[in-house]
Amino acid sequence: MIDLHTHSIFSDGELIPAELVRRAYIKGYRAIAITDHMDTSNMELIIPKVVSIAEELNRFQRIKVIPGAELTHLPPELIPEKIAEARRLGAELVLVHGETLVEPVEKGTNRAAIEAGADILAHPGLITEEDVRLAAEKGVALEITSRKGHCLANGHVARLAIKFGAPLVINTDAHSPSDLIDREFALKVLLAAGLDGKQAETVFLTAEKFI
């Protein structure tokens, strides 16, 4: 299992990074990205700390730790500069919190994230065909998620991604230990979203490029 979207106590997760990583390893993970919620208020505080922790843990753990960021509830106009800033601060993976059905994310966030070249658009909700086409052109991965609420649009996202050739990844958006899943359960989530076995394997392979 490669999970490219998790949260620690640096935002609204329950675990310190070391415990999050340890629990993921025991669950069978090969790699995990720590992608706490961020805006201008906390980027400079969190990203360097996560970079340092990742470097430290990667010296001793048999699981790859990737320092990242999830830009969350930003005005769409700010997204390009904040993606650039997150990368400047050391984030190796930048997600943008997409237009999920269960939160009041500003309309236009999905498009701004794709145009700005985010690595992954998290839980993009009822994303438009036009935006999925653009994601395919730019190579921005769309997220299939196992997280309650955010997963409601998985089928819609999967159908359009397959139709237009946009890359897909599956993540947990884990906030607590119980959110972590193994590869077998991740496969079930992908199949439930409407993918067949071959398409599901392609999703797992897409995650490889981020590690």
**Tens-place pLDDT, residues 146-183:** 999 999 999 999 999 999 999 999 999 999 999 999 99
Q: Per residue in 191-202, pLDDT tens? A: 999 999 999 999
Q: Do residues 166 and 140 make contact, with C-beta atoms less than 8 angstroms apart?
A: yes
Which of the four pLDDT bands, split at 50, 70 and 90, describes residue 4? very high
Q: Do residues 47 and 19 make contact, with C-beta atoms less than 8 angstroms apart?
A: no
Domain 2-208 CATH superfamily:
Metal-dependent hydrolases (3.20.20.140)
pLDDT score at 5: 98
The length of the chain is: 211
From the list 36, 14, 15, 24, the residue with the least C-alpha distance to 63 is 24
Q: Which pTM value belongs to this model? A: 0.97
Contacts of 84 (CB under 8 A, 6+ apart): none
Average pLDDT of the segment spanning 60-67: 96
CA distance 95 to 119: 6
Q: Tell me the CA end-to-end span of the chain in Å, nearest whole number.
A: 12
3-state secondary structure 147-175: CCCHHHHHHHHHHHHHHHCCCEEEECCEC
Q: Do residues 43 and 209 make contact, with C-beta atoms less than 8 angstroms apart?
A: no
Q: Per residue in 6-59, pLDDT tens? A: 999 999 999 999 999 999 999 999 999 999 999 999 999 999 999 999 999 999
CA distance 90 to 88: 5
Which of the four pLDDT bands, split at 50, 70 and 90, describes residue 96? very high
What's the chain's average pLDDT? 98
Which of the four pLDDT bands, split at 50, 70 and 90, describes residue 184? very high
Each domain of the chain, given as residue ranges in start order, spans: 2-208
Question: pLDDT over 70 for what percent of the chain?
Answer: 100
